[in-house]
Amino acid sequence: MRKLAIILALALILCGGCAPKSLITLRIPDTDVDIMMKLIPAGDFVMGSPSLEQDRWDNEGPQHLVTITEPFYMGVFEVTQEQWLAVMETLPSEFGYIPGNPVERVSWDDCQDFITELNTLGIGTFRLPTEAEWEYACRADTITTFPWGADLTYGSLGEYAWYDDNSDDTTHLVGGKLPNQWGLYDMHGNVFEWCNDLYGEYGIDPQTDPQGSTTGWSRVIRGGCMISPPDYCRSASRGNVTPTIGGNWIGSRLVRMAP
């Protein structure tokens, strides 16, 4: 029995306790293109905005407690043009090929095709984030309007986001601004990001791993974009778009479940 205990202890040491790595880099096979992902811990947060938050919209409430029961990996960056091209061998973006810019002009349906193809490559099982996962990762354990604070004048937004005041109406290289506290870039601005959920109204009851509305036709988008006014870039701001539409202001960010 003692020998077995020693073997098990050594195995745990060798695999680092079998805990998932906090940051992983995945190479798309037969390319030199990588996908970098950050481990997001399980936890609780208050979803939505308080009734007195500046510039809030009614669809951001009521606030409600959400529990995320499992850790997951989220893309450190928005899906880029070079990643899309490596997987799909197509380039839908309107602004010309700039490898490190976020891919845009992709519909929700297009993103499902991209993910389906990516999932055949043997580097994990990917999907779009749920709306709850997206806001949880965006807030990064904060409760203010933005992860960096209330920012009532939006004076610090330009340090973290490409939006209507600083973007020249075009997308920019991912990672060009400051990350949030969990190491995620461009959660505000650059391009809106599709979520997996059907769009619907919030309820007030606590929820565990919510998957969004069970009825409806449009899909959730989050984060604001390069032509958004500042209030659209708030952590709680939410919108919805027909899943077949892909404007030059919509992109995506990947989620991969932790092993």
For 3-36, write each residue's pLDDT tens digit: 434 333 434 334 445 688 999 999 999 999 999 9
Q: Which pLDDT does position 19 carry in this prediction?
A: 82
Q: Which pLDDT does position 258 carry in this prediction?
A: 83
In the chain the domains, ranked by start, together with CATH numbers, are: 24-257 (3.90.1580.10)
What is the bridge-based pairing of β-strands 255-257 and 72-75?
antiparallel
Read out DSSP for 186-224?
-SSBSSEEEEEEEP----SS-EES---BSS-S-EEEES-
Percentage above 70 pLDDT, the chain: 93
Q: Which pLDDT does position 259 carry in this prediction?
A: 74
CA 41/CA 43 separation, integer angstroms:
6
197, 187 Cβ separation under 8 angstroms = no
Amino acid at 174: V
How buried is 15 (Cβ within 10 angstroms: 0-12 exposed, 13-18 middle, 19+ buried)?
A: exposed
Stretch 45-59: mean pLDDT: 98
CA 207/CA 213 separation, integer angstroms:
12
Rg of the chain's alpha carbons, rounded to an integer? 19
Stretch 133-162: mean pLDDT: 98
133: DSSP letter:
H
Q: Which pLDDT does position 17 carry in this prediction?
A: 52
Q: Which pLDDT does position 186 carry in this prediction?
A: 98
Q: Which pLDDT does position 151 carry in this prediction?
A: 98
What is the bridge-based pairing of β-strands 219-222 and 250-251?
unpaired
Percentage above 90 pLDDT, the chain: 90
Closest CA to 213 of 130, 112, 113, 109: 130
Q: Which pLDDT does position 97 carry in this prediction?
A: 96
Residue 253 pLDDT exceeds 80: yes
The pair of three-digit structure tokens given for residue 122, joined into one six-digit string: 């043997």
Residue 221 pLDDT exceeds 60: yes
